[in-house]
Structure 1
């Protein structure tokens, strides 16, 4: 009897140890994109080291709630899709909007023309304060069909916000597409424009989530469509014209994002927008761009904007590799320090240090992680599709996009930037909460979020020339993992 009891006890102890062992082992999947060739590749084998650095996740410390990740519907992208064969068009839409693809959840489009349009156009070309001739007919051939195809493909749905680059020239003090200001006598007319846009897109079966008030209100060096506001002028327009008009027309639930330009000028804008309860009433959040620098995230500015309006959105609404003809079928270019931007050539000497040559993948990964770690809740890329020239673009302002096409030969190139975006958009879903995570290897950038389904997504970025080994720790559970040199990883941890 004693022998049997001992045997039973040993068996019980063995089962208990096995359970404890399983309990202390994280259940996870790891996807990697790397300069060595991985493209959202599922990894199962990892290098180990006794000297591995720790990455510690704390799900009890929660920050902002994620609105989404995605890109912009532009006339240029839509035009190119219409010139590809049916199969390649579907491949691109699926790549961005299906669950098997990047599953974009937050998108942007333009009202009237922008630099990534084929020509300059307005929905209201005729001077008339009542906008009787308002029409989105220019969008019906390319832009609207692209949005409709994306909506049909997306099973989870996505938000769309719209941005004007300029009002019609007849509403402005310089009567021109570029620069100038909205004349005060047309403030109500311009607010009516937003309302009519919502109604026109509703008629096409497209729900617009919200707006940014003006793309780049500082202007863009008088190059392409623009219209200038001071912080006080934009606040006045929203407080006394746009907000009340949308509310009166039954669109009071639409999101209004102020500013919509670079982070370096953020402080003066949020000070004006959120000066008091009256000025901030109709602003739902702040929109920002990344063009002040190829590598600097401006965390102090982001922190300041959040603290000024902690319960409002803070969304990066535009970023791209600008002033570049994109490399065609050359992945190495996107991982190497060859890309420059506008500031490399054109910025004043005192700020050129902010614009070195910088690897495009590094720029995306560094900025998105840095934004998430500084209260940003959404991150939207610029054009989804461009051609080998980096257009079409009426101003010849060439840029790169995650997907490049040759519309003549009907070919597609998924650049490493596409996979970089997917590391975030596919695995960090709307409603996820950013959580505390610490990397004890300061060369590895990391962010983490807990999804509504309970999974934890951890994104790592290793810009160094050597493989990094680390121990991932969550609630006393651990796992040894490694990340290749010049690589991005998303780790999905099941907490159920």
Structure 2
């Protein structure tokens, strides 16, 4: 018979093992990295001398997530039609299927935009104030089929909001697609335009969730379709024309987002949009873009906008790598600080510092995490698909998309930006609540959210050249793992 002490030691060992098992946090880790991981599940981790502790605080809740996604544009739809059915389906499934990025919030354009093949309008007949000749015929061959195919693939469905770049020239004071303002005599006609658009898309079986009032109301340097509004002009248009018209026509439940441009101008816009109860009634939230800087996500402006209207939406509605011809099948480029944007060449000397060279992956993930940690509830990329030139684009305003195609060779390239977007869209679902956390490392960006099903999602970004060991804890349970250098991780903690 063994001495009693061996039984005691054995019992203590079993108790310690049980305690360790009880304290172990069950979580899956998915990583995209400069070394080549692409939303890859990681089971083995390399330890690092740099230790990071992250403590989740699910009792601290912030904004409710509306969704993540990209934009349906004529350019993207046109390219999909040029591909084989197999590649077209592969791309749409990659964005919308359950095994894909599961996009939940999307955008499209009303009338043409820079990522259209030509200028066009749904109200082509001059002087047609009652829009008796309103038609979405221009969308029927490409844009609408793309949206319908995406809806058929998506198991959970997704929200769509629409944005006009400009009214038709005959409604504007400069009679041009570019710049100018909507003539006051056409304010009611333009409000009717939104209602007619909802009718037409509903007839096609597409439910439009809402609108931004105008894409980039400051203009865009008079380059492509645009129509200018001051904060007061847009607010008056919504309060006295658009809001009442949608309400009258049975569309009072449709979302209206004001502004829809860069964040540095947020204060004057939200001050005017929410100037009183009468104006606030018709605005459901504020739309923002990211083109003010290649690195600054303007947390103070985001905080101000939230505090001005705490119960309203705050959605990033457009962002992309602009002014660059895409790098065909060159993953490394997306992780290195070689990209330039419009501001690299055209920003004023006083604002040049906001536009240094940047790494595209860094810009995306930094902005999304920065937004989520400052009350933004939705984040929408720009074009879903572009070609090797960064188009087609009638103005030759080249940009990069998460998926790049060569239609002549029927080839498809999923860039690292696609996987970056999926780290958020696939796992943080509509209705999730952003939750609090403590993070010991200021150089590691981290955000967290709890989904409606109870699962908790943590997204971490290590943009440094050094791997880091992480100790993640919640409710006394712990998971030890590591994040590689230049890597994004999504940690899924099941309910």
CA apart distance, 1:16: 4.8
Query: Partner residue of 2:251?
Result: 251
Check whether the contact 2:48–2:467 (CA below 8 A) recurs between aligned residues.
Answer: no
Query: Partner residue of 1:311?
Result: 311
Deviations 1:151-179 (A, max 9, x none): 00000100000000001111111111000
Check whether the contact 1:70–1:381 (CA below 8 A) recurs between aligned residues.
Answer: yes
What pairs up with 1:284-299 in 2 under 5 angstroms?
284-299=284-299
- State the TM-score, normalizing by the size of structure 1: 0.97
Distance across 1 between alignment mates of 2:477 and 2:9: 25
Distance across 1 between alignment mates of 2:405 and 2:50: 45
Query: Partner residue of 1:136?
Result: 136
Check whether the contact 2:50–2:467 (CA below 8 A) recurs between aligned residues.
Answer: no
Query: Partner residue of 1:38?
Result: 37
Distance across 1 between alignment mates of 2:468 and 2:10: 40
Matched, 1:114 2:121: no
Q: Alignment partner of 2:246: what SS?
A: helix
Q: Alignment partner of 2:418: what SS?
A: helix
What pairs up with 1:12-23 in 2 under 5 angstroms?
16-23=15-22
Distance across 1 between alignment mates of 2:446 and 2:220: 33
CA apart distance, 1:389: 0.2
Distance across 2 between alignment mates of 1:397 and 1:147: 24
Q: What is the alpha-carbon root mean square deviation over aligned residues?
A: 1.6
Distance across 2 between alignment mates of 1:13 and 1:159: 55
Distance 1:84 1:447, change over 3 A: same
Query: Partner residue of 1:416?
Result: 416
- Listed as ranges, the gaps of 5+ residues in structure 2 are none
Query: Partner residue of 1:459?
Result: 459
Distance across 2 between alignment mates of 1:467 and 1:8: 43
CA apart distance, 1:22: 1.7
CA apart distance, 1:479: 1.4
Query: Partner residue of 2:335?
Result: 335
Distance across 1 between alignment mates of 2:93 and 2:57: 35
Check whether the contact 2:315–2:378 (CA below 8 A) recurs between aligned residues.
Answer: yes
Distance across 2 between alignment mates of 1:453 and 1:366: 26
Query: Partner residue of 2:57?
Result: 58
Check whether the contact 1:405–1:411 (CA below 8 A) recurs between aligned residues.
Answer: yes
Deviations 1:195-214 (A, max 9, x none): 00000000000000000000
Distance across 1 between alignment mates of 2:201 and 2:333: 39
Deviations 1:44-91 (A, max 9, x none): 011335762211111110000000000000000000000000000000
Deviations 1:130-168 (A, max 9, x none): 000000000000000000000000001000000000011
Distance across 2 between alignment mates of 1:308 and 1:205: 36
Distance across 1 between alignment mates of 2:402 and 2:155: 22
Distance across 2 between alignment mates of 1:162 and 1:27: 41
Q: Alignment partner of 1:314: what SS?
A: strand
Distance across 2 between alignment mates of 1:88 and 1:47: 37
Check whether the contact 1:46–1:480 (CA below 8 A) recurs between aligned residues.
Answer: no
- State the TM-score, normalizing by the size of structure 2: 0.97
What pairs up with 1:301-450 in 2 under 5 angstroms?
301-450=301-450
Deviations 1:387-426 (A, max 9, x none): 0000000000000000000000000000000000000000
Distance 1:392 1:176, change over 3 A: same
Distance across 2 between alignment mates of 1:471 and 1:50: 13
Q: Alignment partner of 1:457: what SS?
A: strand
Distance across 1 between alignment mates of 2:59 and 2:411: 47
Distance across 1 between alignment mates of 2:49 and 2:358: 33
CA apart distance, 1:441: 1.3
Deviates more, 1:472-481 or 1:447-456: 472-481
Deviations 1:249-272 (A, max 9, x none): 000000000000000000000000
Query: Partner residue of 1:105?
Result: 104
Distance across 2 between alignment mates of 1:202 and 1:6: 78
Distance across 2 between alignment mates of 1:147 and 1:454: 30
Q: Alignment partner of 1:186: what SS?
A: helix
Distance across 2 between alignment mates of 1:5 and 1:466: 50
Q: Alignment partner of 2:63: what SS?
A: strand
Distance across 2 between alignment mates of 1:10 and 1:246: 75
Query: Partner residue of 2:95?
Result: 96
CA apart distance, 1:15: 5.6
Check whether the contact 1:48–1:480 (CA below 8 A) recurs between aligned residues.
Answer: no
Query: Partner residue of 2:28?
Result: 29
Q: Alignment partner of 1:82: what SS?
A: helix
Deviates more, 1:7-16 or 1:246-255: 7-16
Distance 1:184 1:472, change over 3 A: same
Check whether the contact 1:438–1:446 (CA below 8 A) recurs between aligned residues.
Answer: no
Distance across 2 between alignment mates of 1:97 and 1:429: 13
Q: Alignment partner of 1:115: what SS?
A: coil
Check whether the contact 2:465–2:485 (CA below 8 A) recurs between aligned residues.
Answer: yes
Distance across 2 between alignment mates of 1:425 and 1:395: 31
Query: Partner residue of 1:83?
Result: 82
Query: Partner residue of 1:273?
Result: 273
Distance across 2 between alignment mates of 1:168 and 1:28: 53
Check whether the contact 2:48–2:482 (CA below 8 A) recurs between aligned residues.
Answer: no
Query: Partner residue of 2:145?
Result: 145
